[in-house]
Amino acid sequence: MKKGTGFFPTEIIFAVTDRCNKHCGHCYVQQKNIDLDIEKCKTFIESCPENIERIGFSGGEPFLNINFIEEIVKTTVSKDMMFDQIITNGDWWKSENQLESVLKRIYDAGFDGKIGLSYDSFHGQELNRIVTFIKTVHRIWNQGDILNIQSVISENPEKIIEDLENFDKLALALNCNVELELNKKTGKGVILLENDEIYLPVYREIQSFKGNDERAWKSRKWFKDDFCEGPGQVLFVHSDGNIAPCCGFANENKELFIGTVSENYQQIMENARHNKMVKICYENGLSKKIKELKKKMPGKTDDICAFCDFVCKISD
């Protein structure tokens, strides 16, 4: 069997806060009203070597802790690092003036990464508010490809139809053409909204389920083991300061914690070298556990994060 190359992160993703104005059924973040500490995160960034190239922001809803984003953006710029994405529901603002003001603060601080908008039936945003958010972002950054949409496919056929209709309506409101590149069976793929000024891809992904959820185990085939290159090779800093070695939802398990943001980069990497799950995910491969755990599994899963979550849970 092919062996992984090991854990060599290139990015930090900060879960700015666990607070959110939405309570989506497909989200596994536990909301405990915790915000990340700005100064500890600045110090942690300063301890990182050049192989940490990018900074991203997640949550909760990151724009509910705007001071953190603004300060970390400034630190990132000062260290000549690059940005990944700010993942947002686009629906956190109470007025258009607030929306404009907050986005302008991030722009003025120097953020030149992407903004990933989560938009689907799980979030339930009003179309007119999403249109306002998108138009405001485009006006401030004046960059046609600044945004992308990340959309989760519901199990409910009616919700799937509703989502597709909403993307048609969104395209109409933005005066965009629509191009579909979707798998006919699963609905997974890309919907492209585009005109001369806007390039807005919508990435439709299948809903993930936790490892103890029977819905995760209905596949006819096993996941493709990529040694967690997909959701991995990042330092994911949870809102409580715990650090995990990936951004997949299984990173909520303590078995994947490799330290806290109060430690420095060298300490975190030393912790990672002694973490059993890091070795399984990045060196041996999660698929190697399939045969070992065969009698404990309720079926097959093609979701590597669900399998990782399962392995973490039976390790308790």
Assess whether pLDDT exceeds 90 at residue 230: no
Assess whether pLDDT exceeds 70 at residue 167: yes
Tokens found for residue 295: 């009698």
Question: What are 88-137's pLDDT values in tens digits?
Answer: 999 999 999 999 999 999 999 999 999 999 999 989 999 999 999 999 99
pLDDT, average across residues 40-66: 97
Tokens found for residue 285: 């491969």
User: What is the pTM (predicted TM-score) of this model?
Assistant: 0.95
Assess whether pLDDT exceeds 60 at residue 48: yes
pLDDT, average across residues 254-280: 97
- What whole-number percentage of the chain has pLDDT above 70? 98
Assess whether pLDDT exceeds 50 at residue 1: no
How far, rounded to the nearest angstrom, does the alpha carbon of residue 243 sit from its chain's CA centroid? 15
Question: What are 20-34's pLDDT values in tens digits?
Answer: 877 776 776 677 789
For 246, residues 6+ apart whose C-beta sits below 8 A from its C-beta are: 228, 231, 232, 233, 234, 236, 256, 281
Assess whether pLDDT exceeds 80 at residue 304: yes
Of residues 155 and 3, more confidence is placed in 155
Q: In the prediction, which pLDDT does 2 show?
A: 61
Q: In the prediction, which pLDDT does 42 show?
A: 98
pLDDT, average across residues 233-248: 96
Task: Supply the mean pLDDT for the chain.
Answer: 94
Please name the residue ranges forming H helices in the chain. 38-46, 66-78, 96-109, 127-141, 157-173, 265-273, 276-279, 288-292, 304-314
Contact by Cβ (8 Å): 222, 301: yes
